[in-house]
Amino acid sequence: MKNYSFLICLMLLQVQVFSQTKKIVILPQTKQGGTLCNAFKEYNNKLMIEGMEETYRQKKYFVINSRKIVQGLGNTGGCFKGNDWVQEQLLSHDGLNLYAVAKVDKKNGYKGSFVEMEVEIYDASNEKLLVRQKAKSQEKFTNDFKGQVKEALNSIFDRLMHTAIANYRAKNYIEEPEPFAIPIVAGEKKEEVVKQEEVVAEEVEDEEIMESDVDVNIPRASKVNEDAIAVIIGNQNYKKEGVPEVKYALHDAQIMKEYLITMFGFREGNIIYIENATQADFNAVFGVKNNPKGKLFNYVKPEKSDVFIYYSGHGAPDPESQKGYFVPVDTDPSLIHFNGYSASTFYENIGLVPYKSLQVVLDVSFSGATDDGMLLKNISPVFIKTENKVLNDEKAVILTAASSEQVASRYNEQYHGLLTYYYLKGVKGAADVNKDKNITLEELSQYLNEKISYQARILHERTQTPEIHGQLDFIIKK
């Protein structure tokens, strides 16, 4: 009987140890001279952590939300206490025996892009390395960075965690691991390193982990819209010196994609998602003048595909022709006629796409005016008028953030463009005035006009009036 009791206790202990090793927290690599808090703010690290967390949850692990913890530390000044203190807060959870540290690089090959990642699993009790493995996703033409991270991690996951758990139980550690944390130079006091970190953190204290109230608790679609096709472009980082970034454009694009998948039922493989699109990207997706057969045209099933197009980025006018242009990230705005992407060509080409229905949401104005001044020096905004059949198509809705002489404002408190924020909030339910679960263009347009006009005056002391085209009874969200 005593032997049985001993065996039962041993089995229960093994179960307890196993369940504790199924709890994990994921940290990004800390670059030399940088801080852990700042590493969490890097956009690719955010996507990497999200992809890894999703993979661990699918494998039935309990994942601690490290990004939320760091956001809280940033709001309360905890990030100024140094890497060691921040990491201690991340690891101070009951039952946490393991934690992961990862880094990922995106590269290009002959068959498309791929990611290379390195994952290290540590014993949380003493921060000793249990296993280090490298992984690589397949080469393919895609902008789904998070999906590539998940693919790479899945390729090594079972071997990685089996080794980590076995080494944890045996207390078998890898000696002298390459440190991800900041190395302390010989003869340098630890306090001095912390001071150096504080300076770095102070320089970027305005860079918060971006999360808006529309980014969370996204309603789920009741069914998948199998044939729906979308294009999402976020142009934030421009290559030409003197062209300011479009703040939050990448965040806009990422959250819009999440809405299309989660709330509108789009399949991720049917979304053409591009960050920092070049002129070649615009041509490849929407076609060129007199030839609309780019990726969008080819993806659409005639009369079966609901099409959604979204853009957040700069727009600019050509002062001579008074036509508007999208500004690709490799464009010189002073030569916009030659290396921009014409709004006229855009409307002409999407008008030839055989869609079942069309929604276009453009968080842009074509005035060339930005929150940081004019893209084109020594000119005033021009009045741009675009005429095309798609603007009057009863199957189409076109929403643009501002009229051609206005600025498309950013909503800093919510980390989105003003149009993007209120569009998402509206389709999430705020625009559903009669509470019938169907949001029509009439409801949404009233909501957008009221909210955007008011907030532009309050936040920026300017006039901003969204341009809206379409039939008022068009159903935006069922």
According to the model, what pLDDT value does residue 207 have? Answer: 39
Residues 253 and 199 in one domain: no
Q: Are residues 286 and 193 in the same domain?
A: no
CA distance 452 to 225: 30
C-alpha Rg value of the chain to the nearest Å = 25
Q: Residue 198 belongs to what domain range?
A: 23-203
Task: Looking at the structure, tell me whether residues 419 and 345 fall in a common domain.
Answer: yes
Q: What single-letter DSSP state applies at residue 31?
A: P
The verdict on 276 and 380 lying in the same domain is: yes
DSSP 283-330: HHHH-BTTB--SHHHHHPPTTT-EEEEEEES-EEEETTTTEEEE--TT
The tally of CA atoms less than 13 A away on the side-chain side of residue 311 is 27
* Cβ atoms of residues 329 and 239 within 8 Å: yes
CA distances from 476 to 252, 319, 424 (A): 19, 35, 11
Name the residue among 178, 151, 188 with its Cα closest to residue 30. 178
Query: 326 and 426: one domain?
Result: yes
Is 145 domain-assigned?
yes
Residues 86, 88, 90, CA angle at the centre, nearest 5°? 75
- Strands 416-417, 410-411: pairing is antiparallel
Please report the pLDDT score of residue 385 as a whole number: 57
Q: Are 459 and 410 in contact (CB under 8 A)?
A: no
Give the number of domains in the chain.
Answer: 2
Q: Are residues 277 and 395 in the same domain?
A: yes
11 domain residue, yes or no: no
| Residue 210 counted as domain residue | no
Indicate whether 16 belongs to any domain. no
CATH code for position 311: 3.40.50.1460
Please check whether residues 142 and 285 belong to one and the same domain: no
Phi, psi of 244 (to 5 degrees): -70, 155
> Is the separation of the CB atoms in 52 and 153 below 8 Å?
yes
Does residue 214 belong to any structural domain of this protein?
Answer: no
**Residue 406 and residue 283 share a domain:** yes
What distance in Å separates the CA atoms of residue 68 and residue 75, rounded to the nearest whole number? Answer: 11
Contact 410, 248 (CB under 8 A): yes
* Structure tokens belonging to residue 259: 């809405």
Report d(CA 242, CA 351) in Å as an integer.
Answer: 34
- Can you tell me the distance from the alpha carbon of 165 to that of 24, in angstroms, rounded to the nearest whole number? 12
Distance from the Cα of residue 217 to its chain's centroid: 16
Please give the structure tokens belonging to residue 290.
């007199």
Question: Pairing state of beta strands 410-411 and 396-400?
Answer: unpaired
Task: Look at residue 223 and tell me if it is in a domain.
Answer: no
Query: Is 222 within a domain?
Result: no
Tell me: do 252 and 196 sit in the same domain.
Answer: no
Which residues, in sequence order, are bridge partners of residue 308?
230, 359
> pTM of the prediction?
0.60
Contacts of 72 (CB under 8 A, 6+ apart): 78
Range 15-53 burial, b when 16+ CB lie within 10 A, else e:
eeeeebbbbbbbbbbbeeebbbbbbbbeebbbbbbbbbb
Q: At what angle do helices 441-460 and 418-425 cross, to 10 degrees?
A: 140
What's the number of CA atoms in the CB half-sphere (13 Å) around residue 180? 23
62 lies in the same domain as 157: yes
Q: Whole-angstrom Cα distance, residue 416 to residue 430? A: 17
Residues 375 and 234 in one domain: yes
pLDDT, tens digit only, all 478 positions of the chain: 445 554 444 444 444 444 445 789 999 998 877 889 888 988 889 999 999 999 998 888 989 998 889 888 877 888 888 888 999 999 988 778 899 999 999 888 777 889 999 999 999 989 999 999 999 999 888 878 899 999 999 999 988 998 888 888 888 888 654 444 333 333 333 333 333 333 333 333 333 456 788 988 888 888 999 999 999 999 998 988 888 889 899 999 989 999 999 999 999 899 999 999 999 999 999 999 999 999 999 999 999 999 999 999 998 888 777 788 999 999 888 888 899 999 999 999 999 999 999 999 999 988 766 665 566 554 445 444 566 778 788 999 999 988 767 888 889 889 899 999 999 999 999 999 999 989 999 999 999 999 999 988 888 888 888 999 999 999 998 8
CA pair distance 34, 86, nearest whole angstrom? 13
167 and 235 in a single domain? The answer is no
Of 161, 187, 203, which residue constitutes the final position of a domain?
A: 203
What does the alpha-carbon distance between residue 206 and residue 196 come to, in Å, rounded to a whole number? 18
Angle at 451 between CA 447 and CA 456, to 5 degrees: 150
Angle ∠(195,196,200) on CA atoms, nearest 5: 115
In this structure, what DSSP letter does residue 430 have?
Answer: I
Contact assessment for residue 227 and residue 306, using Cβ atoms and an 8 Å cutoff: yes
